[in-house]
Homo-oligomer: A and B are copies of this chain.
């Protein structure tokens, strides 16, 4: 049944709107809030006082007068509460305190040496519990937000599938919540980062954002009308598993010619190896001290920047395949902006320009006239910021 309305609902709604304004437009006076929201000054004052009692906002300095009494500027207090962000990747667990502006205050990292379902769950739980032991102000903790690669059912708090970590239908959210007694969220990493882009990125004012993560695999997070789109049970956005070649090789997922098999790092690596085996000369070998096992994304990127012909040709080919996938995405979602996160190419504007041109070439004009394709703008802590974004969305976004 849908949530019905009462006086409490009005108050919560108005308070959440006012808090949102203070967060995003603060410091701001009560009077300006009233003008913006068209709420009465009385209502604004009462809501602000409640927020001050909660510790979420604070009266600050007096602002400039515009011909009358100087306004009292109200500030958002990002450090009043914090979130424990946990990022599980295929190789390690990162855990951190983040404030309400998703700023990392303290960060720890642990390699994952264990494998298998129970092992990982136990290891994660132990890591989180020991981290919590070291915290003094647990009463200010909003909750624990965990992000993990793979298919995640955020509504049910379930890791549905992760092949690298060998996870299948793991109820991680409830397990951690029960062990710690602290409110816990669980979501997919790409989803979380997409939401962080929406909340904290340079392009946060766009309504329809698609974030694409390139690396070991290819994933995406889709933000539509300010909210994450997760699909029926968390599987939406498996961008790596759309087919770009109907007669391509069979992928683990069952599909033929999946994009992931053309643009992920393993695909690139395999192309490099093939070329080297065939005797192709490349700077990559020198950078890797003639040990093919040492070739990694960083080395490939260095060679690319030095205009190594092999690296260049593989990068171009990869970009072209990638663009084909993007064209499909654009025709189906008609987004305002596509944000690309890929370590290897981070900051490589040439790559993005090439992609942009390719997409424009193969997409219906109406879709590209005002489409932006840019690199991610979150800093190095993007994963932890993602985790925080999931919790913050749930806390701050009022919905009936």
Contacts and interface: CB of A to CB of B under 8 A. Distances in A.
A243 B244 contact: yes
Contacts of A4: 13-14, 17, 37-39
12 contacts: A4-B37, A5-B13, A208-B232, A231-B334, A236-B333, A238-B332, A241-B331, A243-B324, A243-B327, A254-B363, A254-B365, A329-B332
Nearest to A244: B246
A256 interface: yes
Contact of A364 (B17, B20, B253, B329): B253
B327 A239 contact: no
A327 B7 CA distance: 47
A278 interface: no
Nearest to A18: B4
A76 to B, nearest CB: 17
Interface in A41-92: none
Given A10-B6, A231-B208, A231-B335, A38 B1 contact: yes
Interface string A188-208: 000000000000000000011
A333 B229 CA distance: 8
Given A334-B231, A334-B234, A366-B235, A5 B9 contact: yes
A36 interface: yes
Given A9-B10, A235-B334, 13 more contacts: A1-B36, A2-B20, A4-B39, A6-B10, A238-B334, A238-B364, A238-B367, A243-B244, A243-B327, A243-B362, A246-B324, A328-B328, A329-B332
Given A10-B7, A14-B4, A161-B366, A245 B242 contact: no
A2 B2 CA distance: 20
- Top 10 A-B pairs ranked by shortest CB distance? A231-B334, A5-B10, A235-B334, A5-B13, A253-B364, A242-B328, A238-B331, A236-B334, A241-B331, A255-B362
Nearest to A16: B2
Interface in A317-347: 321, 324, 327-329, 331-336
A135 interface: no
A232 B13 CA distance: 26
Interface in A347-372: 361-367, 370
Most buried by B among A231, A239, A329, A365: A231
Most buried by B among A236, A245, A328: A328
A283 to B, nearest CB: 29
A160 interface: yes
A400 interface: yes
Interface in A290-341: 321, 324, 327-329, 331-336
A199 to B, nearest CB: 16
A151 interface: yes
A274 interface: no
Interface string A23-49: 000000000000011110000000000
